[in-house]
Structure 1
Amino acid sequence: MSHRVQDGIDAAARARRGNTGPWHPILAAVEDEPGVWRMVSPLGECYGVIRMLEIGGERGYRAVTWAARSADRELIGYYRTLRTAARETHLHHVRSHSRAGSANGR
């Protein structure tokens, strides 16, 4: 990557103003080992695992729900970017806290 000095100056100015941009689920990703991220809630609970992999010469990411045993994990999907994998894992987690159907139960 190539960065300009001005990029750092601009980022520092945004941080001083408190304008660091919107939160994104990738901020919940904790890389414990190279190429493996745990999605962690603000309470410290793991709710997903993202693993970088290569299939047929293409690199991507596999996202699954978290469970103590690997066999108990549920596939969420395969993605081309870590950012998308984190977003979809987070949305899966959020959706798991609600019932299917409309708000009024119809």
Structure 2
Amino acid sequence: MAMQHSRQDAIDARTRAAKNPTPNWHRILAAVEVRAGMWHMVDQYNQPYAVIIFLELGGEHGYRAVHVSRDGHRNLVGYFRTLRAACEAAHGVYLRAHGPAGFAPDPWSPHEPSPRY
């Protein structure tokens, strides 16, 4: 059974949406430039979770992204040609650090073979 709506419902919904627009958020918005060529990506508590540095290697320009764990350890995420790509990769590492790795709940021990279907 298809839903039936009046034309006025669509107009009212569009008007409500225009009053409270949802901003388009991108990972690059979490990057705060602390000095020229250096950004900290910060979480909702203003704690840095990544550092991105603009650099030149062999005559080419790019960005190095480093993930900062909660205990302060730094792990290289990678080198990127754009700030946007560096922010996306660093944010992805940050998100993956919040959950268990691999298949959850990983029901098979390493000693048992995987079930055959």
Q: Which interval holds the TM-score relative to the shorter structure?
A: 0.7 to 0.9
Which segments of structure 1 move beyond 3 Å, counting only runs of 4 or more? none
SS in 2 for 1:74: strand
CA apart distance, 1:101: 1.5
Unaligned runs of 5+ in 1: 1-14
Considering fraction of residues, name the structure with more helix: 1
Q: What is aligned with 2:81?
A: 80
Unaligned runs of 5+ in 2: 1-17, 108-117
Q: What is aligned with 1:98?
A: 99
Q: What is the aligned length?
A: 89
Give the number of the structure with larger relative contact order, counting CA–CA contacts within 8 Å between residues 6 or more apart.
1
Distance 1:19 1:98 in 2: 27
**Per-residue displacement from partner, 1:55-86 (whole Å, max 9, x unpaired)?**
1111000001226xx9x421110000000000
Normalising by the residue count of structure 1, what TM-score does the alignment of the two structures yield? 0.73
Q: What letter is aligned with 1:85? A: A
SS in 2 for 1:93: helix
* TM alignment of 1:1-106, pairs within 5 A: 18=21, 20-21=23-24, 23-66=25-68, 72-106=73-107
Q: What letter is aligned with 2:87? A: A
